[in-house]
Chain A
Amino acid sequence: MAPARAKKHLFLNYKGGTGKTSVSTAYGYYLAGKGKRVLMVDLDAQAHLTACLNEESVYHEKSLYSVIVKGEDIRNIIVDTSLPNLKLVPSSIALSSLELPLFRMPLREFRLRKALKNAEREYDYIIIDSAPSIGLMSLNAILASDEILVPLLADFLSFHGLKILLETLASIEKDFSYYLGRIHIFLNRYNPDYAICRECEEAVRRFYPENLLKTVVRESQEIMNASSEGKSLFELYPDSKVAEDIKNLVHEVNGGEL
């Protein structure tokens, strides 16, 4: 019997600075720590996920560019990390020039999905960290994923950005006749002392009740420190509140499958 395909989870928000990379890194680390085979995919040309996993200084001859444009096998560009069952598809600034050749390719919106097919039988989870932009690579990521996680800062501008994101996802479904997987919205860097945070939480609960996760990732320094050190949050601060939040997040998204 063929091994099961990996579950592809995408961390997506067109607004920058919402914590996609920090949370997706911690998310991937936790799953790997639970014994799952995890592949992290960095789609951001800023390569922040790559930096969080301490691979930014390493020169990689091949990148997603060769995979997407030239049809190279994605397994040829996967690199190891500090954890044995946590692998990475690294990014670099070269990724910023990917959209132009991609634009002229057939099935240009499905190239990433096709590329991941080569690897999805070898992993339990593929975690994709997308760039904060509405572009062809972002569209590739959306159409490649099974579930979408939207980290949301608890303020008005993020709430407005969420409106744009959800409407864009709705139009993608319509344009491609393709129904997306579940969409999970969770509040990140939440501070209950701020009235605006409480108002935002109330608004999300009121208008998007089916998509809002109960778990809230609170504001913390630990997750920022872990990102800056390129190490796992669970290695540096295993008993922190934010570590607990990430665990709850993983369990809430995956339910009893974990």
Chain B
Amino acid sequence: MKKKFEDNVASQMPKTKSEEPTLPWKIDESDLAKIDSESQDYKDLAQGAPPLKTRPVFLIALVLAIFAAALFMVASIAIENDRIKIGISEKEKEAAILQVNLDKAAAEKTTLEHNASQLEKRVNDLSAQKELFTAVLESLTKKEDVIPAETTSSQVPPSEILPSQVPPSEKQEKRE
């Protein structure tokens, strides 16, 4: 089968300078010159002296830098450690305060419960008294109705009962 030209067309085309955007990241001649001069400076530096042996200053600076870094790390760890300890003690204090408050609240609750039970008892007593007084009042009310009828029939003859002395119930019966 004959191959087709249209199946072999480039999927991406170079944009070329006609479509070049003006963006700051474009590689400039000065960028190249700068990179190249840095590379050259390094080359010159490397070419001149043998490494390490005749550069005690660099060695000492390196050792001091490492030592300072190690010291800094130890100090940081120690400071961090103290900070954590302080944090722990503060947390413990807060916990103790909370515990005290909790105990107080528990004691208060006990007192309130005791008071409540006492009040309940008093209410029960008062209720009982109320019932008693109610019963007494009822019994007293009944006795007043009964006792005046018994006193007039047994003690005073009927002829001598004055109209004013006739109990109202008898008066009423007579009238009827």
For residues 89 through 136 of chain A, which have their beta carbon under 8 Å from a beta carbon of chain B? 106-107, 110, 113-114
Can you list, as one digit per residue, whether each of A153-193 has a CB less than 8 Å from chain B (1) or not (0)? 00010011011001101111100111111110000000000
Write out the residue numbers on chain A whose beta carbons fall within 8 Å of the beta carbon of B144.
none
- Asked if residues A178 and B9 are in contact (CB atoms below 8 Å), the reply is no
CB B79 to nearest CB in A, in angstroms, measures 43
Q: Would you mind naming 27 contact pairs between A and B with Cβ atoms under 8 Å apart?
A: A106-B35, A107-B32, A107-B35, A159-B5, A160-B8, A162-B10, A163-B8, A163-B9, A166-B14, A167-B12, A170-B14, A172-B14, A177-B26, A177-B27, A178-B26, A178-B27, A179-B15, A179-B20, A179-B26, A180-B16, A182-B17, A199-B5, A203-B5, A207-B5, A207-B6, A208-B10, A208-B13
- Tell me if A141 is interfacial: C-beta within 8 Å of chain B: no
* Chain A: interface residue total (CB-CB under 8 A): 31
Among residues of A, the one whose C-beta sits closest to the C-beta of B2 is: A156
Write out the residue numbers on chain B whose beta carbons fall within 8 Å of the beta carbon of A159.
5, 8
Contact residue range for chain B?
A: 20 to 34
Task: Count chain A CB atoms within 10 A of each CB in B12, B15, B32, B39 and give the residue with the most.
Answer: B12
A-B pairs with lowest CB-CB distance, top 10: A203-B5, A179-B20, A166-B10, A170-B12, A169-B14, A160-B8, A163-B10, A170-B14, A207-B9, A106-B39
- Asked if residues B12 and A181 are in contact (CB atoms below 8 Å), the reply is no
Write out the residue numbers on chain A whose beta carbons fall within 8 Å of the beta carbon of B16.
173, 179-183
Write out the residue numbers on chain A whose beta carbons fall within 8 Å of the beta carbon of B5.
156, 159, 199-200, 202-203, 207
Of B10, B14, B36, which is within 8 A of A107 by CB? B36
Among residues of B, the one whose C-beta sits closest to the C-beta of A160 is: B8
- Asked if residues A156 and B3 are in contact (CB atoms below 8 Å), the reply is yes
Among residues of A, the one whose C-beta sits closest to the C-beta of B5 is: A203
Q: Which residues of A contact B (CB under 8 A)?
A: 106-107, 110, 113-114, 156, 159-160, 162-163, 166-167, 169-173, 176-183, 199-200, 202-203, 207-208
Query: Once the chains are docked, how many angstroms separate the CA of A182 from the CA of B15?
Result: 9
- Asked if residues A179 and B8 are in contact (CB atoms below 8 Å), the reply is no
- Tell me if B11 is interfacial: C-beta within 8 Å of chain A: yes
Looking at chain A's contact residues, the main secondary structure is helix
Q: With contacts defined as CB atoms under 8 Å apart, how many contacts are there between chain A and chain B in the complex?
A: 73
- Asked if residues A166 and B12 are in contact (CB atoms below 8 Å), the reply is yes
- Tell me if B164 is interfacial: C-beta within 8 Å of chain A: no
Query: A166-B10, A170-B12, A173-B16 provided; 17 other pairs, C-beta below 8 A?
Result: A107-B36, A107-B39, A159-B5, A162-B10, A166-B13, A166-B14, A167-B11, A167-B12, A169-B14, A179-B17, A180-B14, A181-B16, A181-B17, A199-B5, A202-B5, A203-B6, A207-B9
Query: Known: A179-B19, A200-B5. Contact between A171 and B26, CB under 8 A?
Result: no
Write out the residue numbers on chain B whose beta carbons fall within 8 Å of the beta carbon of A177.
25-27
Write out the residue numbers on chain A whose beta carbons fall within 8 Å of the beta carbon of B18.
182
Query: Once the chains are docked, how many angstroms separate the CA of A177 from the CA of B16?
Result: 11
CB A67 to nearest CB in B, in angstroms, measures 15
Write out the residue numbers on chain A whose beta carbons fall within 8 Å of the beta carbon of B25.
177
- Asked if residues A170 and B36 are in contact (CB atoms below 8 Å), the reply is no
Query: Once the chains are docked, how many angstroms separate the CA of A172 from the CA of B25?
Result: 16
CB B23 to nearest CB in A, in angstroms, measures 8
Query: Once the chains are docked, how many angstroms separate the CA of A178 from the CA of B19?
Result: 11
